[in-house]
Amino acid sequence: MEQISPFAFVTIVTLISGAVGTGLGGVVGALFNSDSNKTVSLLLAFAGGVMSAIVCFDLLVEAVEAAGEASGAGVWMVAGAFAVGVAVVYGLNLIIDRKTRGEVPHTHDAAHPQTHDDLDELIHADHLNQHIRNNDSRLSLVVAGVVMACAIALHNIPEGMTIGASFVVSDDLMLGSGMIMAVLIGLHNIPEGMAVAVPLISGGMGKARAVLITAACGLPTLLGAWLGFWLGDVGPVGLALSLGFASGAMAYVVYGEILPEAYLIYRSKAPAFAAMAGMVLGMLLIFG
């Protein structure tokens, strides 16, 4: 039997991580039509901790080594790509937030934190649900759905880039950092899928259709994986830039969104310990 190509392998694994992971969350949301703030918070914090370890101790190290092969100023090249990754995701999120701010009453309350305080708000599912509750026009629902899809894509594309670039530097496709990152992002997509499916079903959509839409929201991960894999495969400079950009984008998602959100969803010390446990596991996976 002919061995599968690395590109095809990355495509299959990313589809499972993105679409299946998000779709599984949709199934959970459809079956129970509710979520546990504590469970979601701890899962997000734990995944954020592992992602932090892999980005800091693996991907950025690989990026600097790759850049060093092409230029004496390799660290500066990676730092610049990292900063661009942070700026792009932050800027696009800021645009979406400003366009949708005020559509949901609690988001413009003076007591509301200056960040997203639940998963529905992070991916703008709350805006779609608000339009459904108000019986707004079909056009309003379509626009809200597009906004939600864009918000999810902003997370999934850099996550996919991280998967693709990680596979480039993995000596073993099955056991390397690419597979580890794919599994972690798949786990992270489960609560995200719950957050998409629950408001859709609560608004009257059929469960099967809601699950299919939820799974489709994970497809942008594949685009990111192809981009990360292609850039990482064109040479040392491409690999350094791809890893640096993806690491910066992922770092913003983790530190600017996932961890603050985890603390706000479940206000205790538990998310902090979950994040630290995730970092320890990440180090064990990298250096063990």
**pLDDT tens for each residue of 175-199:** 677 888 788 788 778 777 776 777 6
DSSP string, 46-104: HHHHHHHHHIIIIIHHHHHHHHHHH-TTHHHHHHHHHHHHHHHHHHHHHHHHHHHTTSS
Taking alpha carbons only, the member of 215, 218, 219, 245 closest to residue 230 is 245
Confidence (pLDDT) at 148: 66
53 domain-assigned: yes
63 domain-assigned: yes
**pLDDT tens for each residue of 84-111:** 999 988 887 787 777 666 665 555 565 5
| Percent above pLDDT 70 for the chain | 74
Mean per-residue pLDDT for 142-171? 74
Confidence (pLDDT) at 123: 59
Q: Is the pTM of this model over 0.85?
A: no
Domain that holds residue 172: 6-287
145 domain-assigned: yes
237 domain-assigned: yes
Say yes or no to pLDDT of 2 above 60: no
**pLDDT tens for each residue of 27-75:** 877 776 555 677 778 878 888 898 888 888 888 888 888 887 656 677 8
Domain count, the chain: 1
227 domain-assigned: yes
What band does 83 get if pLDDT is binned at 50, 70 and 90?
very high
1 domain-assigned: no
Distance (Å, whole) CA 49 – CA 216 = 26
